[in-house]
Amino acid sequence: MFAIENPSTGKSEDKFERIDDSQRDDILDRSTAAYDAWRGTRIEERAAVLSRAADLYEERIDELADHIGREMGKLTRWAKAEVQIVADIYRYYAEHAHELLADEYLPAQNADKTVVRKEPIGPLLGIMPWNFPYYQVARFAAPNLLLGNTIVLKHASICPLSSQACQDILEEAGLPKDVYINIYASGSQMDAFVADKRIKGVSLTGSEAAGAAVAKTAGENYKKSVLELGGNDPFLVIDDENLEWVLDQFNLIRMYNTGQACNAPKRLIVLEDFYDRTVEYLEKKVGDMKVGPYDDENADIGPLSSIGARDEIVERLDKAAANGDAKIRVGGKKIDREGAYMEPALLTDVDPSADVGCNEIFGPVAIVYKAKDVEEAIEIANNSEYGLSSSVWGTDLDAAFEVANQLNDGMTFVNEASVTAAGLPFGGVNRSGYGRELARWGVGEFVNEHLYRVSGQDNPGNSPAM
């Protein structure tokens, strides 16, 4: 049984039944049967469904925003922004359908025609997290539905309303039944889905432990996986000419979604020349932030996704302070009110080898590191087992770009951070996972790049490989 545990109020709301293991065969048989039909539809038909879905997301923005506010506490203005990004993603794939799926003609090489065609591979399993309930689904679903794959989607248990809305909108947009199947299931039920021969690939966005489990089972069963996991993203400031503006950007981006974004900047790295000014400015900035429920228009941040998530972060901060692993400059305590609220926090003097230094903190916690020069700033930034994204901030763009080129991440930005758009690839390296989503890279993961060669009898082509 799943239930909405509204983090703004701490109260339990609607309940939903979890699937039984005995239903797995029916779900996968339906997805396989739907694939046999969906793969044969014209590109124009698939693109039209995605285009209409984009329109429906925009038309229902208020309702959809309220769903995720109730489910995981996202402030309404953030929720509406997420819904708009989702509409942009579906529309992007609709508008670029022919370009993204175009055949690639190769030099004939002793044949009359040599072409590589992008073809679907079959039913896919998506395992999605709660922090961006619509966006995470869209960046996986849109390119694969365009390609002709079918999808079985297991969302986070705290997102029953938004997960079902993803299916309902696609079907209202014209997607045939069973091409996209939303299931209410637990994480422990997923291993059997991943292992099943009817599933041809799996995409997971979530924890490192869940990613390792999925990758292991997928590998043992000869199928591809895409993993988008955690991050401990560095935010390097290499000069102080616009320091207050840069710190304002850091604080906004770090605390966006109440700090619950894998690609948010977790580690602010500044040069020692302006370290003290940085800490002083952020102490006030973070300390002045207003915490409120998801529908409070004046709130700077909302509740955490759950009381358990809040308690885990507060406990980690308390332990770090007690062990001397970090100094809590401001905040970090549970707020005494109903719901999953905590004070946003600023940490300094953090031991990079301690828990709060080397592991992701998925909440409203900013960490400041001091570097004696740019070279040490780069060293601190790269001292991480993650590798999702990073950013460099400076007025000399050539110097900033030179620093950016020395960072070991999947995405690096100069004078911006955590940027996502339908036309940009998204993904990381190392403990942040592998594979890419969005743009043409999103089409390129779960695809059969099928080679066709046509040779006339008077042009036998090359000899077979020995």
Q: Are 290 and 311 in contact (CB under 8 A)?
A: no
DSSP-derived pairing of the beta strands 224-228 and 233-237: unpaired
Residue with tokens 């320091």: 243
Residue intervals of the chain classified under CATH 3.40.309.10 are 233-414
Q: Is the dihedral of CA 378, 380, 384, 389 positive or negative?
A: negative
Q: Give residues with Cβ within 8 angstroms of 123, minimum separation 6.
A: 28, 31, 32, 35, 149, 150, 151, 152, 198, 199, 200
Helix (H) or strand (E) holding 31: helix 24-38
Strands 11-16 and 2-6: antiparallel
Nearest to 28 by CA among 41, 19, 16: 19
In the chain, CATH 3.40.605.10 sits at 2-228+436-452
Q: How far is CA 55 from CA 58, 60, 99, 157, in A?
A: 5, 9, 21, 27
Which helix or strand (DSSP H or E) is residue 237 part of? Answer: strand 233-237
Query: 390: which strand partners?
Result: 412
Cα separation, 190 vs 217, whole angstroms: 10
Q: How many CA atoms lie within 13 A of 448 on its CB side?
A: 13
Residue 456: its pLDDT value, please?
87
Q: Domain 2-228+436-452 belongs to what topology?
A: Aldehyde Dehydrogenase; Chain A, domain 1 (3.40.605)
The per-residue pLDDT for 464 is: 58
The arrangement of strands across the sheet holding 265-271 comes to 327-330, 345-348, 365-371, 265-271, 233-237, 389-393, 411-414
Residue 458: the pLDDT is: 72
> Residue-wise pLDDT tens for the chain (466 aa)?
788 999 999 999 988 999 999 999 999 999 999 999 999 999 999 999 999 999 999 999 999 999 999 999 999 999 999 999 999 999 999 999 999 999 999 998 788 999 999 999 999 999 999 999 999 999 999 999 999 999 999 999 999 999 999 999 999 999 999 999 999 999 999 999 999 999 999 999 999 999 999 999 999 999 999 999 999 999 999 999 999 999 999 999 999 999 999 999 999 999 999 999 999 999 999 999 999 999 999 999 999 999 999 999 999 999 999 999 999 999 999 999 999 999 999 999 999 999 999 999 999 999 999 999 999 999 999 999 999 999 999 999 999 999 999 999 999 999 999 999 999 999 999 999 999 999 999 999 999 999 999 998 776 655 555 4
> Class for domain 233-414, per CATH?
alpha beta
Q: What residues are annotated to the active site?
A: 228
Pairing state between β 113-119 and 265-271: unpaired
Measured CA to CA, the distance from residue 156 to residue 71 in angstroms comes to: 10
φ, ψ of residue 172 to 5 degrees: the values are: -65, -30
